[in-house]
Chain A
Amino acid sequence: MSSIQQQNTFDWKKTLQIGLIGGAVGVLIAMVGMVEEFNKRDIIAGTLTMGWTILSLTMLVTGLFAARAAASNASSVVGSIVAGTIFGAVMSILVWIVDKYNIRDILVNASPTLVKHLTFEKGIPNGLFMLIGLGAAVGGLGGVIQILPENIRRAISLGLGIAALLGLLQEIIQVSLANFEGASKAVEWMFGKGTEKGLSLAGAILVFVVVAAGNYLWTGNASKISAGFEKLPQSSRKSFRWLGYGLLFLALIYLPVVLGLYLTEVVNVTGLFILMGLGLNIVVGFAGLLDLGYVAFYAVGAYTVGVLTNLSGELTLNLGWNFWLALPIGVALAVLAGVALGVPVLNMRGDYLAIVTLGFGEIIRILALSDFLKPHIGGSQGIVNIPPPGFLDVIIKTPQTLYYLIVAGCLLALFISSRLRDSRLGRSWKALREDEDVAQAMGINLVATKLLAFATGAAFSGLSGSILAIKLGTIYPHSFALLISINVLALIIVGGMGSIPGVFVGALLLAGMPELLREFAEYRLLIYGALLVVMMQVRPEGFWPEATHKRELHAENAEPQAEGGAA
């Protein structure tokens, strides 16, 4: 390969390749029925549907890739336009075939409606030209975005992303904001008059401009702002920080009131995943121990609480304990299970560890399902009648009351895992993740360090499971399928391995969003898979990667203060 020569000339082969791949993805999206199904939903009322958003996004990404493969700025844009045109052409060929021949026997979604959608209802030759033109335009836009400076690029993509998100969630936002009298006018302007779905065009532009400009100004001045903040005397810095915590606390308290029943339930589901994610993040993200059977600890927590508190009269144990008594036992048993898994796998690495933990997760689920344990934990019928606990005078049953319990759990896990991360243990875990042999040669006790990671991770999962038991009031073995482990692992990867804020981002994306977009549940796993593949290719470090701590300069500036800080 003469790579030096290629830099000066336009790489037609690569551009063609990218265009064809993009087109193939477009065809796939159309053929699995996503275009048709998603076109039922508007992002911008009357202007842009969700189906077209996804297609355009694919075109945009195709353009981005094509531009990235090119050497100079001019050839970037040309390349992206060419790739976009090829995208459009591939789609057009599909539309033409679907229109001319009936292939619905094989591909169910190759319907006349699809043709109508993809030709903008303008008929065959004209619509196809429009499709190709759109491909060229959006692909070219991708190329232009690619050559922009990074801060502008980030501002634009964030603006587009937030606008699309608001359009997508319009109905839910509108319903929750309807509680507030003063907001109704603004809501009407942003989202239209209720009958329409999605943002109004003006609203979409406003959101885009505000978010993009805000982000641009923020990234431009963030270093100045933080420098100014650092200059403040320590006492006022501290009080600012506490003010921030206070506001956040108030926001957390009032959140369920603002969100209403449905959204609070979504937040609760997300919260349980955050709790598990924080735990698995310690095991996989910090210590690098790939655990695919993480759901086991979730099950142990849930079943412990179920067995100890239920009063159904169908099980051998009929204790009817108080939830608050059962909760620490659930967590403790999960920790025990964590250690029990940890001991045999101490000497295993990578693939072997993954397979054994996978087996462990399945063993726990199958035990729960077994006839052998049926008298004690209910077998396939599970445990019913888990009574809701009380706290002072409140019975924790509604999503709003459960919300506070889940938030408390998440805050506790957040506190513990960030404290551990910044300690000797966190460093040992990360060293273990980077190179196990060398970590041991640095004097790290592998047995203790690994078991602590498993135990802490299991504790958070057990806590999450315990709360799940009272949230559902009933637990079945199939609530603890392998898919949960995979979900939690995926949310860590998408958020950013080893990153605590990444867990929140990942949980919102992979647990919260699917909950909000239930009508498209059919495509959930497909989108999941695509997201993971794209993430690994484009942004393997995750949406919110693990931050590195600046410790050198800080130490030099703060040396006189170190005493005061430690006291």
Chain B
Amino acid sequence: MTDILTATGVTKQFGGLTAVNNLSIKIPDQSISSIIGPNGAGKTTFFNCVTGFYTPEMGAIHFRGNRIDGLRSDQVTQMGVSRTYQNIRLFSNLTAIENVMVGYEPHLKTNWLDAVFHTPRYHNDEKAAHEEAIKLIRFVGLTGLGDQIARNLPYGAQRRLEIARALASKPGLLLLDEPTAGMNPNETVEMMHFIRNLRDSFGITIMLIEHDMRLVMGISEQVTVLDFGEKIAEGTPKDIQSNPRVIEAYLGRGAATEGMAAATGKPGKPH
């Protein structure tokens, strides 16, 4: 299998703080992989580097062979990388459908004049965006909620709407930043099936940041563990679960393996 995303030696610093340090990751095409690590380990910072929110000081990120670090976030999206956010960031005063239609933006060609004179291009674009939005709303199970203002939707629906919006750009790589944050165990299991279904239906590559170990271990083909901005382990869920460095990072020295599942979202880092 080819790698869709390769990061080599990525380093991102904020003042004196090194948030991501010399990180190299390879993500195989159409895989599901996870990045885990305690809070402040640099997971989201890495996502921000990939999606063009930050420019890393060192290293390179390639997507499908093209270098994407240093590009603006809209350019990265145009190339086929899409994401969701840890704290949901929907366009809260737009309807669900409009949110998804904004996500379809990279495929639209309508300009000012097309919009004013309703040229065939305008009609085609609007129709395509609208159909795609309806399709995705249905796919994520929000049928009937499409005309609701995004901020009025229940929490779980907002999470799924954000995924629908990210899918609208037809990405090759989808980055999900803590998709199950704030969900109960049942919802988390549902989300796990949903993510797998997502990959199988769209044939896309998915990268997760997750704290819920059952989800991570149940779904990922590859797990990368970060601590203080550095990669401390990488491999299959099985390798990771038995890796002493990981257990140490999560639970402190001497902790038991069984403890890991219980440590979801609350890594035992000293304050």
Main secondary structure of the interface of A (DSSP, over half): helix
Contact A425 B137 (CB under 8 A): no
Contact A441 B52 (CB under 8 A): yes
Contact A430 B97 (CB under 8 A): no
Contact B52 A442 (CB under 8 A): no
Q: How far apart are the CA atoms of A420 and B122 in the complex, in Å? A: 11
- If A423-B110, A425-B110, A555-B134 touch, does A438 touch B85 (CB 8 Å cutoff)? yes
A445 interface residue (CB < 8 Å to B): yes
Q: How far apart are the CA atoms of A75 and B118 in the complex, in Å? A: 57
Contact B146 A552 (CB under 8 A): yes
Contact B89 A423 (CB under 8 A): no
Q: How far apart are the CA atoms of A437 and B83 in the complex, in Å? A: 12
Contact A427 B98 (CB under 8 A): yes
Q: Please, which residues of chain B bring their CB within 8 A of the CB of A428?
A: 102, 105
Q: Please, which residues of chain B bring their CB within 8 A of the CB of A416?
A: 116
Q: State which residues 39-66 of B face A: CB under 8 Å.
A: 51-53
Task: Output the least CB separation between B122 and chain A (Å).
Answer: 6
A237 interface residue (CB < 8 Å to B): no
Q: How far apart are the CA atoms of A222 and B115 in the complex, in Å? A: 31
**Of all chain A residues, which has the CB nearest B166?**
A442
Q: Please, which residues of chain B bring their CB within 8 A of the CB of A566?
A: 123-124, 127
Q: Please, which residues of chain A bring their CB within 8 A of the CB of B122?
A: 423
Contact B130 A551 (CB under 8 A): yes
Q: Please, which residues of chain B bring their CB within 8 A of the CB of A431?
A: 91, 94, 102
Main secondary structure of the interface of B (DSSP, over half): helix
**Of all chain A residues, which has the CB nearest B99?**
A431
**Of all chain A residues, which has the CB nearest B142?**
A552
Which residue of the partner chain, among B51, B108, B115, B147, contacts A552 with CB atoms under 8 Å? B147
Task: Output the least CB separation between A490 and chain B (Å).
Answer: 21
Task: Output the least CB separation between A316 and chain B (Å).
Answer: 35
Q: How far apart are the CA atoms of A28 and B52 in the complex, in Å? A: 55
Q: How far apart are the CA atoms of A430 and B76 in the complex, in Å? A: 21
Which residue of the partner chain, among A419, A445, A553, A562, contacts B115 with CB atoms under 8 Å? A419
**Of all chain B residues, which has the CB nearest A553?**
B147
Q: How far apart are the CA atoms of A289 and B69 in the complex, in Å? A: 29
Q: Please, which residues of chain A bring their CB within 8 A of the CB of B112?
A: 420, 425, 452, 456
Contact with A along B63-106 (1 / 0, CB 8 A): 00000000011101110000101000111111101100111011
Task: Output the least CB separation between A160 and chain B (Å).
Answer: 31
Which residue of the partner chain, among B102, B123, B134, B147, contacts A442 with CB atoms under 8 Å? B102
Q: Please, which residues of chain B bring their CB within 8 A of the CB of A423?
A: 110, 114-115, 122, 126
Number of interface residues of A (CB under 8 A): 37
Task: Output the least CB separation between B265 and chain A (Å).
Answer: 24
Task: Output the least CB separation between A327 and chain B (Å).
Answer: 19
Contact A441 B53 (CB under 8 A): yes
Q: How far apart are the CA atoms of A166 and B165 in the complex, in Å? A: 50
Contact A430 B94 (CB under 8 A): yes
Contact B115 A441 (CB under 8 A): no
Which residue of the partner chain, among A430, A452, A555, contacts B93 with CB atoms under 8 Å? A430
Q: Please, which residues of chain B bring their CB within 8 A of the CB of A420?
A: 112, 115-116
A549 interface residue (CB < 8 Å to B): yes
B169 interface residue (CB < 8 Å to A): yes
Contact B105 A443 (CB under 8 A): yes
**Of all chain A residues, which has the CB nearest B72?**
A440
Q: How far apart are the CA atoms of A420 and B118 in the complex, in Å? A: 10
Q: Please, which residues of chain B bring their CB within 8 A of the CB of A442?
A: 74, 77, 102-103, 105-106, 165, 169
Q: Please, which residues of chain B bring their CB within 8 A of the CB of A446?
A: 74
Q: State which residues 416-434 of A face B: CB under 8 Å.
A: 416, 419-420, 422-428, 430-431, 433-434
Contact A435 B125 (CB under 8 A): no
Contact A419 B149 (CB under 8 A): no
Q: Please, which residues of chain A bring their CB within 8 A of the CB of B73?
A: 437, 440-441
- If A441-B53, A441-B74, A442-B103 touch, does A434 touch B146 (CB 8 Å cutoff)? no
B129 interface residue (CB < 8 Å to A): yes
Q: How far apart are the CA atoms of A426 and B108 in the complex, in Å? A: 13
Which residue of the partner chain, among A422, A433, A435, A444, contacts B105 with CB atoms under 8 Å? A444
Q: How far apart are the CA atoms of A452 and B83 in the complex, in Å? A: 27
Contact B115 A440 (CB under 8 A): no
Contact A551 B147 (CB under 8 A): yes
- If A434-B91, A438-B91 touch, does A443 touch B106 (CB 8 Å cutoff)? yes
Q: How far apart are the CA atoms of A555 and B130 in the complex, in Å? A: 8
Q: State which residues 464-512 of A face B: CB under 8 Å.
A: none
- If A419-B118, A420-B115, A566-B127 touch, does A441 touch B97 (CB 8 Å cutoff)? no
Task: Output the least CB separation between A284 and chain B (Å).
Answer: 14
B144 interface residue (CB < 8 Å to A): yes
Q: Please, which residues of chain A bring their CB within 8 A of the CB of B97?
A: 551-552
A13 interface residue (CB < 8 Å to B): no
Contact B85 A424 (CB under 8 A): no
Q: How far apart are the CA atoms of A452 and B113 in the complex, in Å? A: 12
Contact B93 A434 (CB under 8 A): yes
A548 interface residue (CB < 8 Å to B): yes
Q: How far apart are the CA atoms of A552 and B96 in the complex, in Å? A: 9
Contact B91 A550 (CB under 8 A): no
Q: How far apart are the CA atoms of A89 and B175 in the complex, in Å? A: 65
Q: How far apart are the CA atoms of A441 and B165 in the complex, in Å? A: 11
Contact A552 B134 (CB under 8 A): yes
Contact A434 B147 (CB under 8 A): no
A439 interface residue (CB < 8 Å to B): yes
Q: Please, which residues of chain B bring their CB within 8 A of the CB of A562?
A: 127
Q: Please, which residues of chain B bring their CB within 8 A of the CB of A427?
A: 94, 98, 101-102, 105
Contact B83 A441 (CB under 8 A): yes
Task: Output the least CB separation between B147 and chain A (Å).
Answer: 5
Task: Output the least CB separation between B137 and chain A (Å).
Answer: 7
Contact B51 A441 (CB under 8 A): yes
Contact B92 A434 (CB under 8 A): yes
Task: Output the least CB separation between A354 and chain B (Å).
Answer: 20
Q: How far apart are the CA atoms of A419 and B123 in the complex, in Å? A: 12
Q: Please, which residues of chain A bring their CB within 8 A of the CB of B106?
A: 442-443
Contact B89 A430 (CB under 8 A): no
Q: Please, which residues of chain B bring their CB within 8 A of the CB of A444?
A: 74, 102, 105
* Residue of A433, A435, A442 with most partner-chain B CB within 10 A: A442
Task: Output the least CB separation between B107 and chain A (Å).
Answer: 9
Task: Output the least CB separation between A19 and chain B (Å).
Answer: 35
Q: How far apart are the CA atoms of A440 and B134 in the complex, in Å? A: 23
Which residue of the partner chain, among B102, B115, B124, B169, contacts A439 with CB atoms under 8 Å? B102
Q: How far apart are the CA atoms of A439 and B169 in the complex, in Å? A: 12
Contact A419 B165 (CB under 8 A): no
Task: Output the least CB separation between A555 and chain B (Å).
Answer: 6
**Of all chain A residues, which has the CB nearest B83?**
A441
Task: Output the least CB separation between B250 and chain A (Å).
Answer: 30
Q: A426-B115, A442-B165, A552-B146 are known; give 11 further A-B pairs, CB within 8 A.
A: A422-B115, A434-B92, A438-B85, A440-B74, A441-B51, A442-B106, A444-B102, A548-B95, A551-B133, A552-B144, A552-B147
* 6 A–B contacts, CB within 8 A, in A order: A420-B112, A420-B116, A424-B129, A428-B105, A441-B53, A552-B97
The 8 closest A-B pairs by CB, nearest first: A552-B146, A423-B115, A443-B106, A434-B91, A443-B77, A566-B123, A441-B73, A443-B105
